[in-house]
Amino acid sequence: MLTKTIQLWEDRDDARVECYVLRDSPEFRAGVKRPAVIVCPGGAYLGTSDREAEPVALRFAAAGYHAFVLRYTTYYNGWVSDWQNPPPGNERSAYPQPLLELAKTVALVRRHADEWRVDPNRIAVAGFSAGGHLAASLGVHWHEAFLREQLGEDNRSFKPNALILGYPVLDYLLMRDELAREQKVEHVNLFRLANQAVFGTPEPDEEQLAARSPALHVPDRTPPVFIWHTADDDLVYAQNALIFASACARRKVPYELHVFASGVHGLSLADETTAAYPDQINPEAAVWFQLALNWLKKYMK
C-alpha cells in the first residue's frame, strides 16, 4: 500500500488528503483499475474525528478500494471539551470552504486515476455526521457554477459516483427546531459552536439554515445514496435521514436507507476497531459496512 499525505493548499497544511492507495501486484488483478472511497470524518466542523478516519479507510482498503481521508478545514484542529467557554477558532472554516476542499479532492483523485489505478467512474464519498453533511452537500451541489469558478475545473470532475452517509446532518432547520424543543443545554451549546464554524455566527437566520441543508436541495442529478442512522440518536436526529431519503424518492434518485433501532451518535464502524466506549460497540448497527459494500457493487459496477 502506498501511503502519503497531500496538502490541498500551498499556503497551509491544515487541509490535506491522507492517501491509502493499493499497490498493483502481479499476483492478482494486475493492471485493473479499482474503485475508490473518499472518507469525510465527522466532528461538528470543529475538528475531524480520528475514529471516523483511518480505521474506516483501512476497512475499505481491505475490501479492495483505494481509500482517501479528507481532513477538511475546521474551526479547531483538535477537540474542545468546554462548549460554554470555547476559545477563538479558525474563521476560514465557514462554508463553502470545506465543500471546495471535498470537490478539489474528488478532482484530485480523478486526475491521478492512471497513476494510482483508480477507476474514475467509481469514486464514492463516505461521510459521518458533519462529514455526512459535507458529502451530501457535494452530492447535491457538484454541478453548480461557484465550484467551477472557484476551482477552475469542469464540474464533472467534482461529481461523486455514489454517496455513503452515516448519521448525517442534512436539515439544519430540523436540527434547530428539535434542539429548541428538547432544550438539552450541552447539545444546544455544541450546536451554537458548530454554527459558528459553518455559518460564521452562532445564530444563523432561516435563509442561511435552509441554504446549508442538503435535504432541501436534492436535484435529480444527485448520485445514488446509501444512508444509515439509528432511531434513538439524540444528537443528530434520524429525521435527517428520513427527510433526505424522501427527497431522493421524489426526484427518483436511487437510494438505500437503513435506520437501526438503537445506537449512540458517532458509532463509526460500531465495533472494537473504532470504539472509545462500550456503547460504541453495536453489533446490530455494525452490519452497515457490509450492507454498504453490497450496495456499492450494484451502483459502481
Q: In sequence order, which ranges of 89-171 are alpha helices (DSSP H)?
A: 97-111, 113-116, 130-141, 145-151
| Per-domain residue ranges of the chain | 2-299
Low-confidence ranges of the chain (pLDDT < 70): 78-84
- Copy the grid coordinates of residue 165: 452517509
Nearest to 166 by CA among 191, 195, 130: 130
Q: What's the Cα-to-Cα distance from 37 to each of 20, 118, 170, 195, rounded to whole Å?
A: 10, 10, 20, 28
Nearest to 274 by CA among 42, 87, 71, 80: 42
**pLDDT on residue 279:** 97
Is residue 41 within 8 Å of 17, Cβ to Cβ?
no
**pLDDT on residue 82:** 67
Q: In which element (H, E) is residue 229 found? A: strand 225-230
**pLDDT on residue 246:** 98
**pLDDT on residue 81:** 66
> Does 2-299 carry CATH code 3.40.50.1820?
yes
- Copy the grid coordinates of residue 265: 451518535
Say if residue 41 is exposed, middle or buried (CB neighbours under 10 Å; 0-12, 13-18, 19+).
buried
Count of C-beta atoms within a 10 Å radius of residue 60: 25
What's the angle, vertex CA 70, arms to CA 116 and CA 176, rounded to 5? 150
Q: In which element (H, E) is residue 66 found? A: strand 66-71
User: Please, which residues bridge with residue 70 across strands?
Assistant: 17
**pLDDT on residue 214:** 98
**pLDDT on residue 83:** 62
The radius of gyration of the chain from alpha carbons, rounded to an integer in Å, stands at 18
Q: In which element (H, E) is residue 59 found? A: helix 54-62
Rounded CA-CA distance 117/32 in Å is 7
- Copy the grid coordinates of residue 113: 486515476
- Copy the grid coordinates of residue 15: 487541509
Rounded CA-CA distance 237/234 in Å is 6
